[in-house]
Amino acid sequence: MRMSSSHWTAADLPEFDGRTVVVTGANSGVGFGTATALARAGAHVVLAVRDIDRGNDAARRIGGSNEVRRLDLADSDSIREFAAEWEGEISILVNNAGVAMVPEGRTKDGFEMQFGTNHLGHFALTNRLLPHITDRVVNLASGAHRVGTIDFDDLDFAESGYRPVQAYGRSKLANLLFTLELERRLRRAGSAVRSLAAHPGYAATELGTRDRNKYLVGIVHLAGRYFAQPPEKAALPTLFAATQDLPGASYVGPDGRNELHGYPTLVGRSAQASNVQTAQRLWDVSEDLTGVRFGLA
Ligand SMILES: NC(=O)c1ccc[n+]([C@@H]2O[C@H](COP(=O)([O-])OP(=O)(O)OC[C@H]3O[C@@H](n4cnc5c(N)ncnc54)[C@H](OP(=O)(O)O)[C@@H]3O)[C@@H](O)[C@H]2O)c1
């Protein structure tokens, strides 16, 4: 097992022999880089996307064996339909899709948009798909989890006032807590499936730019061009977490300064993200909010 390597790249991926991998948000950014590398390694890649046209365009560019299926993580009906139509095995589920620092908004079910999409959407999707999953679940978190807090009395910022950066941090902290509690439940259930997390560092993607002021978008793209990693490199932590023999609940990120760039390695997380009690409580609250229970119960 290589826990870290300054040289690990997509060329080191194992052969997938047609095994199925589902990547949420595979039409763009890190998800596109992940899906492309997996398809090249022989996986059958399912692009789980909210916009079928964008998905089809990405699928053409990705090539290999792939298919596009509609999934809107901000809509519990869409998640239920996606899972209900599923037949057969999923080797790996990559919970990659996300929104970041968006203006205040609500999912179709009335949850704060970032927490609702990034955490609750993937929580419901994973548990609904769990009976089909054979190898592992990889959740995309972020260094921004460190600015997040979980306030169970005000999960949607209704009392304290919406703050986009804190809301993003909360959703990414929730992704790590979900990884932890899912892993605990999988072990308790005697499952062979593992739960892991990854973050891409600073990636040049569309994150946080959709439907935003065009000057802001210009600045983000310019900064990205000079300082960020291209999506194919930013996808390496996800690919490493998805394929290497790592312990459950491992968290993979880039090995460079401040984890912004580099090659995949195991990285640390905040004390809050390691808090087992918070992880268990968040799980219970997420079950209540989504109406979806542990998929192997
Ligand atoms: N970029 C970074 O520097 C960075 C740093 C740390 C962590 N991350 C994490 O990396 C992951 C990928 O982000 P990215 O940087 O690649 O951003 P991106 O280029 O904006 O890709 C995000 C993807 O998520 C999809 N998505 C958004 N809302 C969705 C919904 N309701 N249902 C289904 N799909 C939805 C988007 O679909 P549309 O194309 O239809 O909008 C897009 O395909 C995220 O989880 C993010 O938090 C990114």
Active site residue 215: no
| 195: pLDDT strictly greater than 80 | yes
Q: What is the pLDDT of residue 36?
A: 98
In short, whether 209's Cβ falls inside 6 Å of ligand 1 is no
In short, whether 29's Cβ falls inside 6 Å of ligand 1 is yes
Indicate the top mutation candidate among 23, 30, 32 to test ligand 1's pocket, ranked by most ligand atoms within 8 A of CB.
30
Say which range, 149-153, 169-173, 213-217, 260-264, has the weakest mean pLDDT: 213-217
Q: What's the CA-to-centroid distance between 188 and ligand 1, angstroms?
A: 31
Q: Which of 162, 168, 202, 251 is catalytic?
A: 168
Q: What is the pLDDT of residue 222?
A: 67
Going from N- to C-terminal start, the domains of the chain cover 16-289
Q: What is the pLDDT of residue 218?
A: 67
Summarised one tens digit per residue, pLDDT across range 96-155 is 999 999 999 999 999 999 999 999 999 999 999 999 999 999 999 999 999 999 999 999
Q: What's the CA-to-centroid distance between 38 and ligand 1, angstroms?
A: 18
In short, whether 75's Cβ falls inside 6 Å of ligand 1 is no
Indicate the top mutation candidate among 69, 73, 207, 236 to test ligand 1's pocket, ranked by most ligand atoms within 8 A of CB.
207
Say which range, 60-64, 164-168, 224-228, 272-276, has the weakest mean pLDDT: 224-228
Q: Which of ligand 1's atoms lies nearest the C-alpha of 171?
A: 47
Q: What is the pLDDT of residue 1?
A: 45
Average pLDDT, the chain: 94
Longest dimension (CA), the chain: 52
CB of 47 closer than 8 Å to CB of 68: yes
In short, whether 169's Cβ falls inside 6 Å of ligand 1 is no
Q: What's the CA-to-centroid distance between 29 and ligand 1, angstroms?
A: 7
In short, whether 168's Cβ falls inside 6 Å of ligand 1 is no
Q: What is the pLDDT of residue 258?
A: 94
In short, whether 170's Cβ falls inside 6 Å of ligand 1 is no
Cα 265 from chain centroid (whole Å): 17
Token pair belonging to 171: 């959703």
Strand partners, 257: none
Question: How many percent of the chain have pLDDT more than 70?
Answer: 92
Q: Output the CATH code of domain 16-289.
A: 3.40.50.720
Q: What is the pLDDT of residue 167?
A: 97
Question: Phi-psi bin for 100: left (phi > 0), alpha (psi -120 to 50), beta?
Answer: beta
Q: What's the CA-to-centroid distance between 190 and ligand 1, angstroms?
A: 32
| 164: pLDDT strictly greater than 80 | yes
Distance from C-alpha of 250 to C-alpha of 266, rounded to nearest angstrom: 7
Q: What is the pLDDT of residue 256?
A: 93
Token pair belonging to 293: 């229970």
| 2: pLDDT strictly greater than 50 | no
Q: What's the CA-to-centroid distance between 107 and ligand 1, angstroms?
A: 16
Burial of 184 by CB count in 10 Å (0-12 exposed, 13-18 middle, 19+ buried)? middle
Which phi and psi angles does 101 have, rounded to 5°? 55, 35
Distance from C-alpha of 100 to C-alpha of 114, rounded to nearest angstrom: 7
In short, whether 200's Cβ falls inside 6 Å of ligand 1 is yes
